[in-house]
Chains A and B, each alone.
Chain A
Amino acid sequence: MTSEAMTSEAMTDGSAAGSSGAPAATDAAWCDTLKSQFADISGKSVSVYTSIVAPEDKPQIDSYKAFEACTGVKVNYEGSKEFETQLKVRVSSANPPDIAFIPQPGLLKTLVEETGAVKPAPKSVADNVDKWFGKDWKSYGTVNDIFFAAPLGANVKSFVWYSPKVFKEKGYTVPTTYKELIALSDKIVADGKKPWCAGIESGVATGWTLTDWLEDYMLRVNGPDVYDQWISHKIPFNDPKVVAALEKVGEIVRNPAYMNAGIGDVASIAATKFQDGGLGVATGTCFLHRQASFYAANFPAGTKIAEDGDVFAFYLPAISEDFGKPVEGGGEFVAAFSDRPEVQAFQTYLSSDTWANEKAKATPGGGWVSANKGLDVANLTTPIDALSAKILQDPKTVFRFDASDLMPSAVGSDSFFKGMTTWVRDNASSQSVLDTIEASWPAS
């Protein structure tokens, strides 16, 4: 479960008010190139189907204006909260959209392998991706050695939200190592408060927050290579290394002295909406909340999100120095179900640096970044987005995609969620939970 799907659930009225408005670059070079590649597409239309619904669809729609002005193609946008199920229904009833933004590479793989309905990306898109994205990002959009889907947005999940204001009052400092993080937690406990808060309730995807925790810790405890083996099932899901990582998560998440600040006991994590889980950071009832960059959208209007503001986030520190600076993140990918020239022109536009910057400018409320190297950090309007972009572009960063999005959906969006929910709700043993998830891994 990834960024846009989650943020859309976290929608709050007016969080995306206003827009950058008129595109000025109609006669720019990118436009001439695009028009020379795709002739005679003016007056045609392209349908786009996504999980991004009002009000967060506005920046998306606004960011297409430059394309529409340049090519004369009309982009029909449709967002649905039932996106993932309904996309499958639409494909199986031969009624697919032209373009869908797919938040999980695992879903892309399923669609490609089972329906054959996804069209391979044209060369113009592959060229853009080669130029603007890292190889790993291209690989997420590749199935069976065919490149299908260019990356769109991205997000960084390895963040801990805190309140700079409260930290200043209490004399706490932002930890830069894992040891400091635990020391800080203990200090808060010594001050008579619980430090951490969390919530994982999220409808069909209840539990995804904790899968992110485990993934972050897999990278930190076992490193990226084991992480990759774990995703591809070269090591079993219940490998002792995974048990060790989950136990490490438990040291914070299932620690009754740490959890669940301002909300209740450890079990209350399961019953708390993920959107509400970290709100205590802004109100001062909670001090630390591990959650992705897109959580910014959940704070009430008027909350200053900056390094010197009401709330901000710091990078969840590495546990050892063996594995560089591990970062877990997610993103969505542009899959096409039609190869009409106007559709391919739109794909080309979306994979360009032009669009990334247009989108940044069209998102004054923040909450959006891209792994596109052509994205000018100066165009990002909020400090948290700038921080995310900086982390994504940092050469020391070892980026790994959200594992649950890459695993088969029977695991990645089903048993993994459920297992983690049981783990925290019923205090089930780490071993037994991982055994159950392993048993659900589809045989092939």
Chain B
Amino acid sequence: MTRRALKASERASDAKTKLSSPWASAVAIILAILWTLPTLGLFITSFRKPADISGPTATGWWTIFTNPSFSLDNYDKVLTGGASSLGSFFLNSFVITIPAVIIPIALALLAAYAFAWIPFKGRNFLFVAIFALQVVPIQVTLIPLQSQYVAWGLAASFWPVWLSHTIFGLPLAIFLLHNFMKEIPREIIEAARVDGAGHVKIFFRVLLPLLVPAIASFGIFQFLWVWNDLLVAIVFAPSANLAPLTARLAELSGTQGANWQLPAAGAFVSMAVPLIVFLALQRYFVRGLLAGGVKG
């Protein structure tokens, strides 16, 4: 890892002196802008007056540059506007996401530890099986799970959502954490064992501090996945009391009439949290990606 990074940075500086061309920079910037325009357009729109967005006087968001006018009306309506307010859905998103991130991490740490450091018969087979289950489409399990939750009396609560996200997140969590655990030099573990440390001590004292980046990597994945999920939410949390932001937002945009103001502001309310998490912890996200953690 470090050797590679070193080389990369060497090459990067190399490239700067030798290969940096204004042409390449220009193309890169143009593509980046092109990629950002759709989001920027909606973002600007979310701050425009309703009369500018819909109805006979509507104009494109690009006219803002020649004819600037801003208002917070849309956000006011989306955040505090009675029946259409997103406040309670915002809370639901948090209530759903936090346990759905923590629970799989807790369970996966146990399993990854066993897979990485405790030899037992059938270990490889079991690990490969769990790894393979990563790609099982959620659709395959959705309906039997639903009848199971109903039979257990858990329906109409947050439990089906938490449990489902735990189930769907576990294979990836185990795989990622196992890979990171494997990278920890055997000598460290051996040394701790010689000192008489048991599993608990090795787990908490030796492994856990080293695993923080790995946990962060998976944590971001799972956070974005759960926060942004629609399918699990609309099947297992179908009432307004439980539904997260995405489900509400999908409904807001359900009939695309001329009314863009509410979906526009709502979209950015729902995006704020994942964007902050993502931009702040990008490093770990990329690390997780490169470690083969991918989920659809």
Contact = CB atoms under 8 A, between A and B. Distances in A.
A189 interface: no
Contacts of A11: 257
Residue from A78, A95, A97 with most neighbouring chain B CB atoms (10 Å) = A95
Given A54-B83, A57-B83, A82-B251, A94 B155 contact: yes
Contacts of A81: 251, 254-255
A80 interface: yes
Interface stretch (A85-93, A253-261, A355-363, A375-383): A85-93
Nearest to A94: B155
A340 to B, nearest CB: 16
B131 interface: no
A80 B240 CA distance: 9
Interface in A129-186: none
Interface stretch (B108-116, B185-193, B201-209, B231-239): B231-239
Interface residues of A, number: 22
Contacts of A93: 146, 149-150, 155-156, 160, 235-236, 238
Nearest to A203: B255
Interface string B128-159: 00000000000000000010011000011000
B84 interface: yes
What bracket does the count of chain B residues touching chain A fall in?
A: 20 to 34
B150 A89 contact: no
B92 to A, nearest CB: 14
Given A81-B255, A93-B155, 8 more contacts: A13-B50, A78-B239, A80-B240, A89-B235, A93-B146, A93-B149, A94-B155, A203-B255
Nearest to A57: B83
Interface in A32-89: 49, 54, 57, 77-82, 86, 89
A46 to B, nearest CB: 14
Interface string B218-239: 0000000000000000111011
A92 B146 contact: yes
28 contacts: A9-B255, A11-B257, A13-B50, A13-B259, A49-B239, A54-B84, A77-B83, A79-B83, A80-B240, A81-B251, A81-B254, A81-B255, A82-B251, A86-B234, A86-B238, A89-B234, A89-B238, A90-B239, A93-B146, A93-B155, A93-B156, A93-B235, A93-B236, A94-B150, A95-B155, A95-B156, A203-B254, A275-B257
Contact of B239 (A57, A92, A95): A95
Given A9-B255, A82-B251, A203-B255, A95 B238 contact: yes
Contacts of A77: 83
A80 to B, nearest CB: 6
A13 B238 CA distance: 27
Contacts of B257: 9, 11, 275
B128 to A, nearest CB: 34
A78 B236 contact: no
A97 B239 contact: yes
B89 to A, nearest CB: 12
A90 B243 CA distance: 12
Nearest to A273: B257
Contacts of A9: 255, 257
Nearest to B236: A93
A239 B119 CA distance: 73
Contacts of B83: 54, 57, 77, 79
Contacts of A92: 146, 150
Contacts of A203: 254-255
Nearest to A47: B239
Contacts of A95: 155-156, 238-239
A421 B254 CA distance: 21
Contacts of B149: 93
A203 B257 CA distance: 11
B156 A94 contact: yes
Nearest to B235: A89
A89 B251 CA distance: 15
A11 B238 CA distance: 24
